[in-house]
Amino acid sequence: MGENFKRIVLAEDHRLLREGLKALLLTEKNLQVVDEAENGLEAVKCVEKHNPDLILLDLSMPKVSGISVIKELKSRFPKVKILALTIHESDQYVLEAFESGADGYCLKDASRDELLLAIESVLSGKIYISPGISENVMEGYLEGKKTLKGSTAWDNITQREKDVLKLIGEGHRNKEIATVLNISVKTVEKHRANIMKKLDLHNVSALTAYAIEKKLVTKTY
């Protein structure tokens, strides 16, 4: 294998889409899919195992969100390029992804050529963002003028609290959440109490509904 051969991890929870992406990438002689992940925890483990050149990462992943995966990977494996692949076009998602350390942002309705361009750009050290995203978003990000809406209750929720809320929304109990996030049950209980207080929500049903509203919960088919 030549020096220009690039190793890629695919992190996408929908199997059909993941297999389609893999088939597409296999048509490129300079790209190799070295592993696949169907949730956020697996994505981190795959990078730990293979130390790839790039991870193609769905932001809406089960167990641990794509944003949390980006933050962890960038802190532990700063050389690994991260291309977010998502259906979300909103300013909030784009800014959160780049602020967390993403190198590129590609929408799932992209053409084959656009996706390959995104991969090539990110691997060469350039920032990539889908043409469908407002130019003002990236201009604001690059200039350090990230103008989001005024502070709301949601803005005060930490990333770890979002991870816990996501798992609550997916139906996991405290003990299961503790196992997934590798924290104690007591810590989970503390996070849950903080979430309920900050959002003024008082039961699991309300928390689940809120998680769905904020698109933290991945749809299952």
Domain ranges of the chain: 6-142, 154-213
Which three-class secondary structure state does DSSP give residue 83?
A: strand
pLDDT of 2 > 70? The answer is: no
* Lateral strand order in the sheet of 31-37: 31-37, 6-11, 54-58, 81-86, 104-107, 128-129
Separation of alpha carbons 114 and 104, rounded Å: 12
| Residue 135 confidence (pLDDT) | 62
Predicted local confidence at residue 82, as pLDDT: 97
Q: Which fold has domain 6-142?
A: Rossmann fold (3.40.50)
Contact (Cβ atoms closer than 8 angstroms) between residue 33 and residue 54:
no
Q: What is the dihedral of CA 99, 100, 106, 107, to 10 degrees?
A: -90
5 vs 149: which has the higher pLDDT: 5
Quick check: 94 and 85 in contact, CB under 8 A?
Answer: no
Query: Which ranges constitute the DSSP H helices of the chain?
Result: 15-26, 40-50, 66-76, 91-100, 112-123, 135-142, 159-169, 174-181, 185-199, 204-213
pLDDT digits (tens, 9 = 90+) for 53-66: 999 999 888 888 88
Among residues 198, 188, 185, which one has the least CA distance to residue 163?
Answer: 188
Q: Is the pLDDT of residue 147 over 70?
A: no
Query: What's the topology of domain 154-213?
Result: Arc Repressor Mutant, subunit A (1.10.10)
Q: Is the pLDDT of residue 48 over 90?
A: yes
Q: What is the pLDDT of residue 150?
A: 47
The pLDDT assigned to 143 comes to 59
Largest interatomic CA distance in the chain? 58
The model's pTM is 0.69
**For residues 40 and 46, what is the distance between their CA atoms, to the nearest angstrom?**
10
